[in-house]
Amino acid sequence: MTSDPSAIPLHHAARRGLLIVMTGASGVGKGTLREQWLAGQDVFYSTSWTTREARPGERDGIDYIFVTPAAFEAKVMADGFLEHASFVGNSYGTPIEPIEAALSRGQDVVLEIEVEGAMQVKARMGDEAILVFIMPPSLTELRRRLEGRATETPERIEKRLARAREEIREAHEFRFVVVNDDLEKAVEGLRAIQTAERARQLPENEWTPEDRAARLRADTLRSYALSDADLQRVVES
């Protein structure tokens, strides 16, 4: 064995974790998908800060870190967020320190954030950020899910739908697009993306048959596979 670290092939050095950013309209099913996808996995899920009121059943420190606008602003000033954005009247932000720590120890990190914040992560982290846009099968179905969840007033639902319409038109900005129609299929798509991106850190001759299958599946989820007309159809249906 050599003691010269530079002689160790790159892929045998400690692996850096993947930074996966899940984004998409409010109510599209991001939380539901994330729970199923990450169940039983040792992934670091980033708990965001927010100035919004806790909903019944939400736990401080687990679902969100609930803070006052002043505390949020102080963290912004201290450059403590990887990204932050306002959404329908409240502020949301991803604290940066725990993320860098997890990536450095080789743990995959998943963020579940709205689109503007996802774009900030893309601008700041470049190619390292794996952006996944979760798409509803149609706007009608998105409305049904928002109404079914019964956490928002009708006025807030309209605001969220208006915002969703704009975000769907920007779907090409993301590396992958996963349609959340059939839940199982969408979860399987997310797993394929994660496996495929991990394989990308290895030379091709080390890929397992599962890695190869995941790479092929993930290729079908690349955003460039969708046309503008496909996106328009979702917005109009």
* Residues 6 or more apart in contact with residue 5 via CB below 8 angstroms: 13
127, 121 in Cβ contact below 8 A? no
Determine, following the binding rule CB under 6 A, whether residue 93 of this chain makes contact with ligand GDP: yes
Q: Closer to ligand ADP at the Cβ: 29 or 93?
A: 29
Task: Say if residues 23 and 113 touch (Cβ distance below 8 Å).
Answer: yes
Choose the stretch contacting ligand GDP; rule: CB under 6 A; options: 2-10, 12-20, 109-117, 215-223: 109-117
From candidates 17, 27, 29, 189, binder to ligand GDP by CB under 6 A: 27
Closest distance of CB 234 from ligand GDP, Å:
17
| 148 is known to lie in a ligand binding site | no
Side-chain half-sphere CA neighbours of 10 within 13 A: 5
Q: What are phi and psi of 87, to 5 degrees?
A: -140, 115
- For the chain, give the number of residues: 237
Question: Binder to ligand GDP among 18, 20, 67, 85 (CB under 6 A)?
Answer: 85
| Size of residue set near ligand GDP by CB under 6 A | 15
**Collapsing DSSP states into helix, strand and coil, what is residue 179?**
strand
What does 195 bind: ligand GDP, ligand ADP, none (CB cut-off 5 to 8 Å by kind)? none
User: Binder to ligand GDP among 37, 44, 72, 92 (CB under 6 A)?
Assistant: 92
Q: Is the distance from CB of 190 to CB of 176 less than 8 angstroms?
A: no
Does residue number 117 form part of the binding site for ligand ADP (CB under 6 A)?
no
User: Rounded CA gap, 112 and 194, in Å?
Assistant: 15
The Cα–Cα gap between 126 and 120 comes to 10
Under rule CB under 6 A, residue 198 binds ligand GDP: no
Residue 55 touching ligand ADP (CB under 6 A)? no
Question: Binding site for ATP, residues?
Answer: 24-31
Residues that bind ligand GDP (CB under 6 A): 26-27, 30, 48, 52, 83, 85, 87, 92-94, 112-114, 117
